[in-house]
Chain A
Amino acid sequence: MSPEEDTDTTVEPAPAAPAPAQEPERSGLPSWAIQGLVSLSAIVLALVVGAILIIVTDDQVKAAAGYFGAAPMDTFSAAASAVGDAYKALAVGALGGITPISESLTQATPLICGGLAVSLAFRTGLFNIGAQGQLIAGAILASYVGFAWHLPAGLHLIVAILAGLLGGALWGGVVGLLKARTGAHEVIVTIMLNYVAIYLLAWLLTTSTFRRPGRTDPISPIVDGNAQYPQFGGTRLHAGFILALLAAVFVWWLLNRSTVGFELRAVGANADASRTAGMSVGRAYIIAMVVAGALAGLAGTQQVLGTDLPLTDGVAASVGFDAITVALLGRGTPLGTVLAGLLFGALNAGGLQMQLITQTPLTLTTVLQAVIVLFVAAPALVRSIFRFLPKERGIGAVLAKGWNG
């Protein structure tokens, strides 16, 4: 067991997390360690799948395979160098120096906030598919305050952030309210509100209020300098990253240290039992969705106030949807979400460098992310490949139920 224990410490470098009470498992490993091992194995497997894709699509490998019979080693060396170069570029692009690291963190910032928005709702037993819409609502308000109002330095940024939080909270709160009052299913409502937000944004960008003066394209002005997050040095990394980490701490505190959070988790675990115990289930749904929406709105402010990005129809990119996979990979815990967000941010940033240096298509990183999540969601599959992994109770059930089993 000891070599595995060693690996754990490298997997989860920050055990400051709310490590759940060590249950007596058959393997003797704490459950968070097993989860970490499964996640790490999933990443390794994803890299293997990615390597196969790189090999079969690489031109030089194809050329060498054409004369495989004459010089078989050429094919293998071409394959090895194709994979080696691509992954080296990926690693260097994500971690090789100050600029790459700052790029990774910049890319991770909205993913962390969006992931927290999904995680928090999951813990309350709600599937928040609407981070995208909440993010857009936040971005709209934050960017409007950012470019239309002109306030003194400091104050302007704070007001713009608050506007973003408000936008997201409203967009999420509607869902919680509908769920609590009418029982409308949150999955359907959030998906529909995503469309409402997307088309609202598209319409707003045709109005003269939001459109950049002198332009006919659907693009807004960039926010005032006063309303932008301070950046670190010459990099694109901005103070929004700090806010993302603070948000993670806040969510941890809310869930694990506050009375409200206890109610949220109780409702998530068993709504009927919570109602019997005298808790207001509806209140819990509303609170969870308001806070989740505000977190997604925070991600929206990071898009428009952080990275010089004007409001366009693509301002949310796919952050709101990637956030769901981040939350899945992070297993609904704040620390897990932060780590998963950092991993995805690093993959995004590294992927851009990889395509520049080795011309590997950018979609490969999307495949890597998808395969990682696929394996994380199917721990039995991972275990059948890596036989040494200890058994763990109910992870599949957790993913199916939403982390409260």
Chain B
Amino acid sequence: MKKYVRGTAIVGVLTLAVAACGSKPTDSSSGGSSANKDFKACMVSDSGGFDDKSFNQTSYKGLQDAVKERGLTEVKAESKSDNDYTTNMTAMVSAKCNVIVAVGFKLEDATEKAARANPSIKFAIVDSAPDPTKGGPIANLKPLLFNTAQSSFQAGYLAAAMTKSGKVGTFGGLQIPTVTIFMDGFAQGVRYYNTQKSKNVQVLGWDDQKQKGLFTGDFEDKAKGQNNAQNLITQGADIVFPVAGPSGLGALQAAKASNGKVNAIWVDTDGCISAEEYCSVLMSSVEKGMDVAVKDAVISVVDNKFDNTQFTGTLQNGGTAIAPFHDFDSKIPADVKSELDTIKADIISGKITIESKVQPKAS
């Protein structure tokens, strides 16, 4: 009996507490720009899902930004496996989307098929361009590619200039072009530093000429990232460059645990924002501006300015860049900073050419 009394008392108090706070909002909350509510901006993820802290998530942010800015209606479809691409793409077409953004090269077949079958819908695809052997560009499909080798080249130069041990390390998630392009650029940036300064800084974890190196085997497992980073650190690297999405966070843990001996450079987004807790070990990040590219592509459709020319994110157009130095701003010498600016200008002007087979071909 006692129990019941207590229970009732608790419920009573809770009711009062709940009743005291909050009142029903009135229904006239339709503020903002709702001019484009009929415009459906849609996105299909690849099997990584929208919460992958990597390219799906960044691309999705671009969609959200566009939706917010123009008051569009957002529809998203996550793919759980490779089986779902065609199904999700078909569903997006029947949902009468105005623009459909596909994330990742794995969706290429499904996207191309849907684009050819539905010429009135605009499509964009991240990290993939229509197969030249299958008829080339499609009028309503815009490829969004990123030459991150350019910004990684700067990151490699920065790492070479800052290392005290004379060794820098990198590792990837899987050996796929969208990963090795970072590692190629990084390794060549280090080599460029060596020839400029007659030094011999070594790159561990990736040989860009033999295309062989260190990989975690997935993009999820932090422990594997930490192991790989520890491996590099044991071999003498004091700057690590993990190109493995969330798995790479393990490398940042390893760096943080070294108490300032080891530092890191992050990829895809500015690590000081996306992985704030590790900002103290991050010298910089190689940004891949998928959010901006997706946002621009969606808005171009809203404004009736869509074109199918391939977007290639470069240093020149800001589609890829190295992020601010944050905590390291005071530690990086001014002449290194100015050399990085020179390198940027030289890459843009073509004075420095980066050799990487996986760079997106110019449109």
Which residues in A have some Cβ–Cβ distance to B below 8 Å?
63, 66-71, 74, 103, 107, 199, 202, 206, 212-219, 222, 236, 303, 307-310, 312-315, 317-319, 348-349, 351-353, 355-356, 359, 361-362, 366
Q: Which of the residues B80, B83, B92 comes within 8 Å of A362, measured between beta carbons?
A: B80
Asked whether A70 and B132 contact (CB < 8 A) given A348-B80, A352-B87, the answer is: no
Which residues in B have some Cβ–Cβ distance to A below 8 Å?
15, 17-25, 47, 49, 75-78, 80-84, 86-88, 91-92, 95, 105-106, 108-109, 128, 131-133, 174-178, 217, 357-358
User: Which residues of chain B have C-beta atoms less than 8 A from A362's C-beta?
Assistant: 49, 78, 80
Q: Which of the residues A67, A212, A309, A361 comes within 8 Å of B25, measured between beta carbons?
A: A67
B105 touches A310 (CB 8 A): no
A355-B76, A356-B75 known; 8 new pairs, CB 8 Å cut-off, are A70-B24, A107-B83, A212-B131, A214-B131, A217-B177, A218-B176, A303-B83, A309-B83
B77 touches A356 (CB 8 A): yes
Q: Which of the residues B19, B76, B105 comes within 8 Å of A70, measured between beta carbons?
A: B19
Q: Which of the residues A66, A199, A352, A361 comes within 8 Å of B88, measured between beta carbons?
A: A352
Asked whether A313 and B23 contact (CB < 8 A) given A103-B87, A359-B76, the answer is: no
User: Which residues of chain A have C-beta atoms less than 8 A from B21's C-beta?
Assistant: 69
Asked whether A70 and B174 contact (CB < 8 A) given A199-B217, A222-B109, A315-B82, the answer is: no
CA–CA, A351 and B86, complex, Å: 15
CA–CA, A391 and B358, complex, Å: 63
User: Which residues of chain A have C-beta atoms less than 8 A from B217's C-beta?
Assistant: 199, 202
A68 touches B80 (CB 8 A): no
Per DSSP, chain A at the interface is loop
CB nearest neighbor in A for B45? A362
CA–CA, A275 and B53, complex, Å: 55
B23 touches A67 (CB 8 A): yes
CA–CA, A381 and B49, complex, Å: 33
CB contacts between A and B, total, < 8 Å: 99
User: Which residues of chain B have C-beta atoms less than 8 A from A107's C-beta?
Assistant: 83
User: Which residues of chain B have C-beta atoms less than 8 A from A310's C-beta?
Assistant: 109
User: Which residues of chain B have C-beta atoms less than 8 A from A353's C-beta?
Assistant: 91
B81 touches A317 (CB 8 A): yes
CB nearest neighbor in B for A351? B80
Interchain nearest-CB distance for A352 vs B (Å)? 6
User: Which residues of chain A have C-beta atoms less than 8 A from B88's C-beta?
Assistant: 352, 356
CA–CA, A63 and B29, complex, Å: 13
B106 touches A312 (CB 8 A): yes
Asked whether A312 and B84 contact (CB < 8 A) given A202-B174, A217-B177, A352-B77, the answer is: no
B175 touches A206 (CB 8 A): yes
23 A-B contacts, Cβ less than 8 Å apart? A66-B22, A68-B22, A69-B17, A69-B19, A70-B19, A70-B22, A70-B23, A103-B87, A199-B217, A214-B131, A215-B131, A216-B357, A217-B177, A222-B109, A236-B87, A303-B83, A314-B81, A314-B82, A352-B77, A356-B91, A359-B76, A362-B49, A362-B80
B82 touches A213 (CB 8 A): no
CA–CA, A66 and B78, complex, Å: 29
Interchain nearest-CB distance for B41 vs A (Å)? 14
CA–CA, A362 and B358, complex, Å: 33
CA–CA, A361 and B106, complex, Å: 21
User: Which residues of chain A have C-beta atoms less than 8 A from B17's C-beta?
Assistant: 69
A71 touches B83 (CB 8 A): no
B20 touches A69 (CB 8 A): yes
CA–CA, A212 and B177, complex, Å: 14
CA–CA, A202 and B219, complex, Å: 14
Asked whether A308 and B86 contact (CB < 8 A) given A69-B21, A202-B174, A361-B78, the answer is: yes
User: Which residues of chain A have C-beta atoms less than 8 A from B95's C-beta?
Assistant: 356
B176 touches A352 (CB 8 A): no
A349 touches B109 (CB 8 A): no
Asked whether A67 and B22 contact (CB < 8 A) given A236-B86, A352-B91, the answer is: yes
CA–CA, A310 and B78, complex, Å: 19
Interface centre among A63, A199, A309 (most CB of B within 10 A): A309
Interchain nearest-CB distance for B32 vs A (Å)? 17
CB nearest neighbor in A for B95? A356
User: Which residues of chain A have C-beta atoms less than 8 A from B178's C-beta?
Assistant: 217
CB nearest neighbor in A for B360? A216
CA–CA, A215 and B84, complex, Å: 22
A216 touches B358 (CB 8 A): yes
Q: Which of the residues A67, A206, A212, A216 comes within 8 Å of B24, measured between beta carbons?
A: A67
A219 touches B106 (CB 8 A): yes
User: Which residues of chain A have C-beta atoms less than 8 A from B358's C-beta?
Assistant: 216
CA–CA, A348 and B78, complex, Å: 12
User: Which residues of chain B have C-beta atoms less than 8 A from A308's C-beta?
Assistant: 86, 109
B109 touches A352 (CB 8 A): no
Asked whether A317 and B131 contact (CB < 8 A) given A199-B217, A218-B176, the answer is: no
CA–CA, A214 and B134, complex, Å: 10
A355 touches B19 (CB 8 A): no
A314 touches B106 (CB 8 A): yes
CB nearest neighbor in B for A67? B22
CA–CA, A310 and B217, complex, Å: 20
A317 touches B83 (CB 8 A): yes
Asked whether A312 and B82 contact (CB < 8 A) given A69-B21, A352-B88, the answer is: yes
Interchain nearest-CB distance for A355 vs B (Å)? 6
User: Which residues of chain B have C-beta atoms less than 8 A from A218's C-beta?
Assistant: 174, 176
Interface centre among B21, B75, B176, B178 (most CB of A within 10 A): B176
CA–CA, A355 and B81, complex, Å: 15
Asked whether A217 and B176 contact (CB < 8 A) given A67-B25, A68-B22, the answer is: yes
CB nearest neighbor in B for A198? B217
CB nearest neighbor in A for B358? A216
Interchain nearest-CB distance for A221 vs B (Å)? 10
A217 touches B128 (CB 8 A): yes
User: Which residues of chain B have C-beta atoms less than 8 A from A319's C-beta?
Assistant: 81
User: Which residues of chain A have C-beta atoms less than 8 A from B132's C-beta?
Assistant: 214
CA–CA, A317 and B80, complex, Å: 8
